[in-house]
Amino acid sequence: MLTNVQIKNFKCYEDENTFDLNGITIVSGTNSSGKSSLLQAIYLLTQNKTSNYTYLALNSELNLGGFSDVLNKSKGNIESLELSFTYEKSLLENYNLDYLDVNLVYRNPNTFKNLPVKPFETNPILSKIEVYSLDADRQPHEYSIEIDDSKELEVKYHISSELDNGYCKLNGFVPEPIIFEENMKKIVSDNLEKIITLLKMINNENIRYIKAFRNDNLDSANGISTGNLGLSGENTAKVISQNQSLTTDLSIDGINKFSYIFDYWIKKLLGKEYKVISKMIDSNKYKIIITNTETNYEFSLDQIGFGVSQLLPVFTLLLTSKKNDVILIENPEVHLHPKLQSVFIDFCIFIFNNNRKLIIETHSEHIVNKLRINIKKDLIISNRVNILFFEQSNGQLRHSDIEIFEDGRIKSWPADFFDQTYYDLLGLIE
């Protein structure tokens, strides 16, 4: 769905930082260097909430604090941050568009003179949306949607372009029906209608996120939809149960049933003799059971190993994803043996080859090396994988793109790229 994102003045990101999302993006590097902030910024695109005005809900799911906590302070006197994104061309072709870039500008809630800001509001307020598009004939169209706080009791956003001019409310950052300045005009332009449709796709059903510390108790759930796993995987058991009888756009051996594909990868993960099911044991209460099909012994999840309980929510998230989804995963290697890390990457390539994009934050060299092996075997092409390495240098945070050749070689290794285990092993063989 997205081909890149840009971040400006958010947390450690000073000025404008652009990150390409090629297919599978590996985010690695030293501690406190901006890795998690990248994933958070992407997910924040789904956290635009509306009351009288649109604001960025920092604590609805991510618990990031207030505006002052997420604002980069290196330059001082900065009162705004920006999140931008560019759509995938293959998606735009369905709408006869060639290019679409959207820039969201958020301001300190204390900088508005007349805006009826809620008491103690600390969330950034959406001040301006800048849209630049090219239609299929590469004709440019620009839109500016800016907050108008001239009247204390009524907050509107003014939309201006060569085709559409008027006022509107926003639902998140999506314009609601527009009141046009030209009395004769009643319908938005075809180009703006397409853009509005595409803006609606930026939500937490299409941008999915699972955090580093997954719940070890996956047996709880409360009135959720079939895809709402929870950022910590807390609803995994119910999601597995609800999807058992459903079909998916994924396919193995020509079969597109969730249950078949789930069982296939569980056997890769645990062994061919194991089966994982989720049973309803009470109203809105589910329990994950692992069965050895050769002995008929049943195990609870905590009897199998902590690593499996950490990986199962990630597997479930990926299996319930849809075409064009962007999936954000923190530290999938937690408590996982290298063999299971290898299975995880095989699974990620299967998901990627079915038109999803994955952004994976990891410290694991096993994950990186498995990707390199798959590139060498032509199971995934090198230009669809990008590795971003984050580090601190002379007190400055920076990131670099690490180039992988078609034979799996890496052009230049950053100094701290490898896990410390690698350097310890070098010391043993000296």
DSSP-derived pairing of the beta strands 385-393 and 357-361: unpaired
Asked whether residue 103 is domain-assigned, the answer is yes
> 382 — phi, psi (to 5°)?
-65, -35
Lay out the sheet containing 396-402: strands in order across.
207-210, 326-330, 357-361, 24-29, 385-393, 396-402
Q: What is the C-alpha R_g of the chain?
A: 23
How far is residue 55's CA from residue 126's CA, in Å, rounded to a whole number? 5
Cβ proximity of 29 and 399 under 8 Å: yes
Would you say residue 425 lies in a domain?
no
For position 226, what pLDDT does the model report? 46
Choose one of 136, 167, 199: the last residue of a domain: 199
> Which residues have a Cβ under 8 Å from the Cβ of 321 and sit 6 or more positions away?
208, 327, 351, 356
Domain count, the chain: 2
**Helix, strand, or coil here: 227?**
coil
d(C-alpha 295, C-alpha 279), whole Å:
20
Say whether both 173 and 235 belong to one domain: no
Residue 291 lies in a domain: yes
How do beta strands 54-56 and 48-50 pair? antiparallel
- Say whether both 75 and 158 belong to one domain: yes
Q: Are 82 and 158 members of one domain?
A: yes
Claim to verify: residue 58 and residue 115 sit in the same structural domain: yes
Any domain includes 399: no
182 lies in a domain?
A: yes
C-alpha atoms less than 13 angstroms from C-alpha of 43 in its C-beta half-sphere: 24
10 Å Cβ neighbour count for 364?
21
Domain hosting residue 251, numbered range:
214-309
Same domain, 149 and 240: no
Residues 118 and 262 in one domain: no
DSSP 333: T
Q: How many helices (H) and strands (E) does the chain have?
A: 11, 24
Length of the chain, in residues:
430
Q: Note whether 172 and 55 are same-domain residues.
A: yes
The CA distance from 64 to 70, in Å, is 7
Give 404's DSSP letter: B
Phi/psi zone of residue 227: left (φ > 0), alpha (ψ -120 to 50 degrees), beta?
alpha
Instruction: Clarify whether residues 80 and 222 are in a common domain.
Output: no
End position of a domain, from candidates 257, 277, 309: 309
Domain membership flag for residue 396 = no
**Are 72 and 157 members of one domain?**
yes
Residue 355, in any domain of the structure = no
Q: In 175-228, which ranges are continuous DSSP H helix?
A: 190-199
Residues 6+ apart with CB under 8 A from 139: none
Is 260 in the same domain as 193? no
Facing residues of 404 across strands? Answer: 410
Residues 153 and 292 reside in one and the same domain = no
Of 283, 309, 335, the residue at which a domain comes to its end is: 309
Q: Is residue 191 part of a domain?
A: yes
Task: Please indicate, yes or no, whether residues 182 and 254 belong to a single structural domain of this protein.
Answer: no
Chunked into runs of 10 residues, the chain (430 residues) has average pLDDT values of: 96 92 93 91 97 93 95 86 97 97 96 83 96 96 92 81 89 88 70 96 96 68 61 92 95 96 95 92 87 92 82 95 96 90 95 96 92 89 90 81 89 69 55
Q: What are phi and psi of 130, to 5 degrees?
A: -115, 125
